[in-house]
Amino acid sequence: MPLSFQPGEKWLYSNVGYYVLAEIISKASGKSWSEFISGRLFAPAGMTSTRLLTLTAIVPHRASGYEQSDGKMMNAENWIAVRPSGAFLSTVLDLAKWDTFLDSRSPLTASSLEQMRTPVRLNDGTSANYGFGWYVDSFLRRTRIHHDGQYPGFRSDYERFEDDQLSVIVLTNSGSSRVDSLAVKIAGFFAPALATPPFTVSGRAPAQSIQSGKPVTIYITAKDDGKAAPGSVVEMEVWDESRKPVHKQNRSNENFAPGEVKTYEFSWTPTNAGKYTVSVGIYGPKWTPSYSWNQEIVAIIAH
């Protein structure tokens, strides 16, 4: 198949790259991917509970995966094929050993480690927020190196805040969990610089009762209650009587100084008669994590 673009021209996350890498390693080492990664990485790091995912072996204490559908818990489907892009069986304690291994006894050279956590530079001189196997960006102006993962019935997230010498690893056997947001919030309990900014939010609509088909202006006021929040997202959601969203608008890359108040003007046109409410969320960069969630702060009736 043709390339999606020329090497170095763009950046695109793709599992296929990991398949190719595993095949190269197997050819060069003369060992299977499982043998190589276990002997070179898992064993030296002391990760005795970590292995490539197997659906047939009996694994003590293996967790089952679940999904939620219509408010009900369901068993997750089993994939019969697993690729080298991930799909390891592990524990948080083993991954904590891996985290220590990276910093103290890593098989990588110092220069390779630096490349791993440095954003890649593209041919045109710009950079993408990805190193070698890690997203590299910032949260509240603190360095954030991280990656999440997903498999039917499971979600994971691994966060390294190197300015704060803090790592947070979250594993869950619920496929619908927002573990990245949870991990960042956990970090705030241990490092004050990473604590999420508090917000107070209010809203109003000059016309509380309107005719269907006519636009209504909705004003949202957000007050930063004391901590700078760069790159924030402010989203307004309009819900119908069944509490399902029928309209969303947002403002991204909003920079709040401590104590700053900002008012946003949104416009929405109802297409059906009914009772509606407005809810507002304020989030960190790229929607992670949630800073403030405010339900039904404005009521609107359409005739």
pLDDT, tens only, 39-82: 999 999 999 999 887 777 888 888 999 998 888 889 998 776 66
Q: Is the pLDDT of residue 274 over 70?
A: yes
pLDDT score of 18: 86
- The answer to whether residue 8 sits within a structural domain is no
Q: Specify whether 218 is located in the same domain as 169.
A: no
Q: What percent of the chain has pLDDT over 70?
A: 99
Q: Among 169, 194, 219, which residue terminates a domain?
A: 194
The three-state secondary structure class of 16 is helix
β-bridge pairing 290-302 and 209-210: parallel
Please give the pLDDT value at position 70.
82
Q: Is the domain of 127 the same as that of 209?
A: no
Do 87 and 52 meet the contact criterion of CB atoms below 8 Å apart? yes
**Residues 6 or more apart from 160 whose CB is under 8 A from it?**
99, 117, 134, 144, 145, 146, 166, 167
Name the average pLDDT for the chain: 91
Domain end (from 142, 171, 194):
194
Q: Give CA–CA dist 45/103, Å, rounded.
A: 11
Domain co-membership, 205 together with 190: no
pLDDT tens by residue, 177-200: 889 999 999 999 999 999 999 999
What is the per-residue pLDDT for 245? 93
Q: Final residue of a domain: which of 172, 194, 216?
A: 194
> What DSSP line would sit under 81-132, residue for residue?
---TTS-EE--HHHHHHHHHHHHHS-SS-HHHHHHHTSPEEPTTS-EESB-S
The Cα-based distances of 168 to 106, 117, 156, 196, 209 in angstroms read 19, 16, 11, 15, 48
* CATH number for the domain harbouring residue 236: 2.70.50.60
- Give me the mean pLDDT over the 226-243 stretch: 94
**Residue 183 and residue 97 share a domain:** yes
Whether residue 127 has pLDDT greater than 70 = yes
In this structure, are residues 296 and 239 in contact, taking their beta carbons and an 8 Å threshold?
A: yes
Q: Cβ distance 257 to 273 under 8 Å?
A: no
pLDDT tens track for 79-95: 766 677 777 889 999 99
Question: To the nearest whole percent, how much of the chain has pLDDT over 90?
Answer: 68
- Of 43-47, 105-109, 201-205, 250-254, the range with the lowest mean pLDDT is 105-109
In DSSP terms, 247 is beta-bridged to: 238
